[in-house]
Structure 1
Amino acid sequence: MHPTSRRALVCTALALAGLPLGALAQDYPARAITIVVPFSAGGGVDTMARLLADRLRVSLKQSVVVDNKPGASGMLGAGAVAKAPPDGYTLLLGSAGETAINPLIYKEKMQYVPARDLAPITAVTRVPNVLVTHPNFPAKSVAELVAHAQKNPGKLTYATSGVGNPQHLNGELLQMLTGIKMQHVPYKGAANQLVDVAAGNVDITFVSLAGATPFIKGGRVKALAVTSARRAGFAPEIPAIAEFAPAAAYDLDNWFGLFAPAKTPPAVLDKLHAAVTAALREPELIKRLREQGGEPMPLSPAAFRQFMQTETAKYARIVEAAHIVNE
């Protein structure tokens, strides 16, 4: 490159660096956007992120890549986004765990504060878990499951993919509302917990419907109920736990939302919000999300923040009552 051209590029870069972020937002996006997924490839969050990225590439006319940063119960990836430049080029597709539940459990061990360090763009989807058992388990409904647990206090085992995540809280909430006692068996990932339930090594598990569907269709496990307040529109044949009268207040789903680093320019957040919510109204994306066990849940940033506060208060009651702590 000619020295004069090189100097011109350097001067241009320096000039841009001196501009306020609000001015730079007018040309957003001018380069590739990265959506960080704080979990391994192939899981529910990863699938949602890739479906969303496909739509945003078209609407924003820019490359959108998915970067998996698993570790520390989702906090590694979420923390990386919290510390990224607030320019709209590094986003987080986060779940309830690393944005609402983990602060209740890890507290001062957290390397970021979601409410302070992440700017909510919109909720993306709400995903109920499903309660499944081995086909030969002596219960065909939540009522029968509770009755069995009452006759065998402390003997029933329930598997989840880790301590303090929505699945764990699913089991604790069922115990709180019905008075039963179960043993928690945490795993590292849904695949192993489903395999062990199918083998009869663990009595029940709470897991995403997308993960459980191959096992259900193959007759390896049976579905007793979903964890949402009402039956899911994509699986109306599966009752809700809340249909069992003593657990009428049961309502605990997982959910995913898109976040940017705090102090990202409002114009950038507005453009991202418009693009994502428009995508969530597309029939094809709605269909694909429902195939993954989710229902689209576009919200304004303010409504999403309020939703998170309400959900966090619900989680806090469960965490406190169950004495869930980071060990």
Structure 2
Amino acid sequence: MKISSNLLASTILGIGLIASAATVHADARSDQYPASPITLVVPFSAGGGVDVVGRILAKSLSTELGASIVVENKPGASGMIGASYVAHAKPDGLTLLLASSGEVAINPHLYKDMNYSPEKDLAPISLVSRIPNLLSVNPQLPIKNVGELVAYAKAHPDTLSYSSSGVGNIQNITGELLNSMAGIHILHVPYKGSAQAVADVAGGQVSMTFASGAASLPFIESGKIRPIGVTSDKPMKAFPDVPPIKDTPELKDFLLVNWFGLFTTAGTPDSIVQKLNAATVKALANPEVVKALESQGADPAPMSPQAFADFRADQSKLFGQIIRDAHIAIK
């Protein structure tokens, strides 16, 4: 069957017009975005590390986008309640998630009944910051460094406990990695967020904790907890006198760094995702934001949506290997 040149030309023109119209429509949505206030979901309780970083970011991001941004805390289930809320929101870019590594890279290796897929249901916008965790103890304990902690745990088995912001969270993974590598057993006590997890170390209900600088700082400044190590391979700028855990001879291979990243609902138009990314990159380049984040122990680390998608996937593989090697399981 022969197709006339006029019909073929008309078909090609029609396809071109449709594609052009779709592009114009997408651009129009991007130009109009955001037409309503934005909700930034923090999947942990107020006062914790994710919450503090989220509020710093929201203020600057609001300026860059020219829109109101409301921070909404939705804690519980190791961050999965808040993450699920965003995963099932309307894909219009008006509902954002500031996630830690737990709910988007760790939990899939621990939970079989997650009602969202980080890869399929969340659209990556940008990595926001890398956050080493501080290992801090109650100051009443005779422990001033990680070596003394290991020795105390071996001499007094089953007497120490550590808190985290949830089962399967990065702090939990870090605690179990310490147990495994040091050959000790320190009981895990999970909370719904790092704020109460750190507060109970200060109050003596729990022996120690792994928490971000943001969550730890007020208690360190008041002398209510004692930082003895950091999970990165070098000291944090905000806590230069706290050595890496890996400086302890029996833990020379210890290294695990948390991170926070910005997501929205999958299916959000790419033009809006790109606009959010550009605004986030600008916000994280603001000297005041950089200073505020670094004072909380967070290093700004923006990247493109695709680079962040690749980063999340690589980190998920890493955490999965640690979980298998350390035999970590949800009981």
Q: Partner residue of 2:137?
A: 133
Q: Partner residue of 1:42?
A: 47
Q: Partner residue of 2:58?
A: 53
Q: Is the 8 Å Cα contact of residues 50 and 98 (structure 2) preserved in structure 1?
A: yes
- For each residue in 1:221-267, what CA deviation from the matched residue of structure 2 results, as whole angstroms up to 9, or x when unmatched? 21101112211122111111122233222222221111111122221
Q: Partner residue of 1:143?
A: 147
Q: Are 1:229 and 2:230 matched, yes or no?
A: no
Paired AA for residue 265 in structure 2: P
Q: How many pairs align? A: 310
Q: Partner residue of 1:69?
A: 74
Q: Partner residue of 1:213?
A: 217
Question: Out of 154, 157, 173, which is 1:169 matched to?
Answer: 173
Written as runs of structure 1 = structure 2, the 5 A alignment for 1:106-121 is 106-107=111-112, 109-121=113-125
Q: Partner residue of 2:14?
A: none
How far has the Cα of 1:197 moved from its partner? 3.0
Q: Is the 8 Å Cα contact of residues 47 and 195 (structure 2) preserved in structure 1?
A: no
How far has the Cα of 1:216 moved from its partner? 2.0
Q: Partner residue of 2:307?
A: 303
Q: 1:193 to 1:22 in 2, by over 3 A?
A: same
Q: Is the 8 Å Cα contact of residues 131 and 206 (structure 1) preserved in structure 2?
A: yes
Is there any run of 5+ residues in structure 1 with no aligned partner, and where?
1-15
Q: SS where residue 128 of structure 1 aligns?
A: strand
Q: 1:191 to 1:256 in 2, by over 3 A?
A: closer
Tell me the TM-score normalized by structure 2. 0.85
- Larger deviation, residues 227-236 vs 19-28: 19-28
Question: Out of 277, 292, 296, which is 2:296 matched to?
Answer: 292
Alignment RMSD: 2.4
How far has the Cα of 1:33 moved from its partner? 2.1
Paired AA for residue 57 in structure 1: S
Within 1, Cα distance between the matches of 2:305 and 2:277? 8
Paired AA for residue 44 in structure 1: G
Within 2, Cα distance between the matches of 1:296 and 1:95? 14
Q: Partner residue of 2:11?
A: none
Paired AA for residue 299 in structure 2: E
Q: Partner residue of 1:13?
A: none
Within 2, Cα distance between the matches of 1:191 and 1:267? 36
Q: 1:204 to 1:86 in 2, by over 3 A?
A: same
Q: Partner residue of 1:103?
A: 108
How far has the Cα of 1:137 moved from its partner? 2.2
Paired AA for residue 311 in structure 1: Q
Question: Out of 217, 242, 249, which is 2:246 matched to?
Answer: 242
Q: Is the 8 Å Cα contact of residues 46 and 195 (structure 2) preserved in structure 1?
A: no
- Larger deviation, residues 144-153 vs 304-313: 144-153
Within 2, Cα distance between the matches of 1:59 and 1:194? 33
Written as runs of structure 1 = structure 2, the 5 A alignment for 1:235-274 is 235-274=239-278
Q: Is the 8 Å Cα contact of residues 229 and 249 (structure 1) preserved in structure 2?
A: no
Q: SS where residue 106 of structure 1 aligns?
A: coil
Q: Is the 8 Å Cα contact of residues 30 and 275 (structure 2) preserved in structure 1?
A: no
Question: Out of 19, 34, 39, which is 1:29 matched to?
Answer: 34
Q: Is the 8 Å Cα contact of residues 21 and 87 (structure 1) preserved in structure 2?
A: no
Is there any run of 5+ residues in structure 2 with no aligned partner, and where?
1-20
Question: Out of 81, 86, 97, which is 2:86 matched to?
Answer: 81
How far has the Cα of 1:322 moved from its partner? 4.0
- For each residue in 1:159-217, what CA deviation from the matched residue of structure 2 results, as whole angstroms up to 9, or x when unmatched? 22321111111111112222223222333443444344334443322122222223222
- Larger deviation, residues 185-194 vs 81-90: 185-194
Within 1, Cα distance between the matches of 2:190 and 2:44? 17
Q: 1:85 to 1:193 in 2, by over 3 A?
A: closer
